[in-house]
Amino acid sequence: MQTAGMDQLPFSVHRRPNTRPLVIAHRGACLVAPPNSLAAFAAAIEAGADVAELDVTASLRVGHSEAELASDAPTLDEVLALLAASGVAVHVDMKAEGIERAVVAALMQHDLVGRSVVSTTWPASLRRLVHSNPDVPRALGYPRDRLSVSRLHWPRAVTRVGAAALRSVLPVRLPVLAAISRADVLALHHSMISPKVVLAAHRRGIAVFAWTVNDPVVASRFAAIGVDGIVTDDPAGIRVVLGE
């Protein structure tokens, strides 16, 4: 199920004129079902998400890390089969290096290259993706989530002053980040995003995804400054906020 008004257009990581940002279901609709479960991805489809984001580990099972895999964690193949039949696009977040070829092969097997994006925090991994299949859009996650920043309340974990400092230098860092990673998308923690950051990225032809955004006010603000995709635990709610 694709969002009305956008389902007739080919998938693109770049926001088209007069459209809203992509609504990207973070690990499926994980407010409704366990994250990265088949039930969560089915719920994301039902919610009308444009894209379903999933984490894939070194064993090609879907979960945030090998240590956290549920006993019934689905395989990458199982999740892609479900999403391929739905029409929803796929955002594969690689949690390990060295699986680039396997991920691309799985996308090709399910005919998903044309409606997918693959992300990681390792620039070298994105460069390897170019050699595996240059047609797969590549996203660089930033900052690297080594300390599970995405699971903490921001800016309790990092001060507002620190976040502001990072935002101020990011427009300068963007060319370097893009060059070393060959990224088509910068997938940024929501605290890193500002109008200057979005403008700097767009000037270089780079899309911007914001993660993880569940606050309707924040989602609306990001839509207004031109963010291309909003990663959320609540795809149904954010879709209502952003409209069709």
Q: Is residue 152 part of a domain?
A: yes
- Digit-by-digit pLDDT tens for the chain (244 residues) are 334 346 557 899 999 999 999 999 999 999 999 999 999 999 999 999 999 999 999 999 999 999 989 889 999 999 999 999 999 999 999 999 999 999 999 999 999 999 999 999 999 999 999 999 999 999 999 987 544 444 445 445 445 666 677 778 888 888 888 889 999 999 999 999 999 999 999 999 999 999 999 999 999 999 999 999 999 999 999 999 998 7
User: Is residue 216 one of the residues assigned to a domain?
Assistant: yes
The dihedrals phi and psi of 188, each to the nearest 5 degrees, come to -110, 140
pLDDT for residue 55: 98
Question: Residue 17 is which amino acid?
Answer: P
Look at residue 161 in the predicted model and tell me its pLDDT: 66
Q: Which CATH number goes with the domain that contains 219?
A: 3.20.20.190
Angle between the N-to-C axes of helices 123-132 and 100-109, in degrees from 0 to 180, rounded to the nearest 10: 40
Number of domains in the chain: 1
What's residue 135's pLDDT? 97
In a domain, 107, yes or no: yes
Q: Provide the pairing of β-strand 138-142 with 185-189.
A: parallel
For tokens 């995709």, the residue is: 229
Residue range of the domain that includes 62: 22-240
Tell me, yes or no, whether 3 lies in a domain. no
How far is it, in rounded angstroms, from Cα 239 to Cα 73? 27
9 found inside a domain: no
Domain assignment present for residue 1? The answer is no
Pairing of strands 51-56, 229-232: unpaired
Residues 6+ apart with CB under 8 A from 165: none
Residue 5: inside a domain: no
Token readout for 42 is 């089915």
- Give domain status of residue 17, yes or no: no
Write down the pTM of the prediction: 0.90
Q: What's the first-to-final CA gap in the chain, in angstroms?
A: 13
